A and B are shown apart, each in its own frame.
Chain A
Amino acid sequence: MPSGEHQITAVVLTPDEGGLGEKLESLLDARAWRAVEVHDLLLAMAELCRRQRTQVLRATWGLQAADEIVLVVADPQAWPDAQMAQLRGALRRYAPGATVWTYTDCVLSPLDQSPPAAVPPPAPPVPPLDAEPRPISREEIDMLLEVEPGKPFGPAP
């Protein structure tokens, strides 16, 4: 994926292991959401948390603009209310960037107040690569040169 390109990944929780269905797939395609299919509440939570963690790490290193994560609950009535409530509560705490949508009667609708924008926001600028390598920092060279205290670091004369 090109750096800076905004992308939305939809973790689709569906009880049907036979696929997402043509209609849902077309809805996701229309929104340019990339779908990841799961069939279990716990695995959905794990998938969302894993993606959230990856995003945080990538953002920390400035590797790319933060993507969005969406949970799409297909056929919400198929899942126990208490567990769904726990899932949503845990998501708010551990994957606050994730928004929850439902898919019922061929309609995709947000459960949260702030669904992903239809038009992706502009990605933050990616810092250009240095044309010239910067001199290594003092801390870095300390780490590299103190390989063996008392013994010079370098090729044998």
Chain B
Amino acid sequence: MTRGLLLVLSLVCALAGPASAQTDPPPQLVLNPKVEITYGEPANAAFKPIRERLKANQALEQLSSLLGPLDLPAPLKVQVVQCDAPSRPYSSVTGITVCYEQIAKIEETALKAPPNNVATAPQMAVAAFIQVLLHETAFAIIDIYKIPVWGRANDAADRLAALIMLQFGPQIALKVVYGAVGFFEASERTWTGSDFASATSPEAQRYYNYLCMAYGWSPDTFRGAVAQGYLPEQRSWRCPNEYQQAMTAFSATVMPHVNTAKLGQVYVNIPEITLP
């Protein structure tokens, strides 16, 4: 799975950057035959370049490879389409969907982020896409394997996504986590009154949840999160327990469905990117 995440990074970087930025020949991907991928033809011409970049960089093929170690009991659709909506949550019918609208919005928000953000704009764009992809993938995993979920479902999906982000070494973890939380910070709006009735947590809560998982995974790697004041000390004390709790739950509920013999079949590549 470690190399799998790197593959997702590769996928996202390929998505965000021009196809020509990847000079190495495309990897020979080992796909999951149960994953059915679709690059939807967008009606909005503005999204066509996004689709072409995705296809050129085998974005969904790489996600299929990432899911390779999972023993899927039935076909799983994974698609990038024009949704005519900001996003489309996972469902057992439509599968995992990332909307062209989401990708465009991610890039727009990242580019408008204030300069004092915890991450650069390209880093945010890459990591936000990873976060969305892993968040939706988490919902798919929870649904497919009927995994019991305590806590709010969206937070559980975030913790599962964070866990995956953190399994691939310090460099990847730093880049992706700071990028993802930087994007949450850049996306923040003011929550009042009945806004709090939402089943989704405020961006600031998600910011701290991801940082806490990361700090809990490795206080040494993420010591800067506390030192720089991104994560309050009072929260940080219990983060190792939070991480351990999520990891224990992952091991108990998800790992039984992972074919560990296939973990080594995932290709790893992280190209540098620039935003359009």
Is the pairing of A and B real?
no
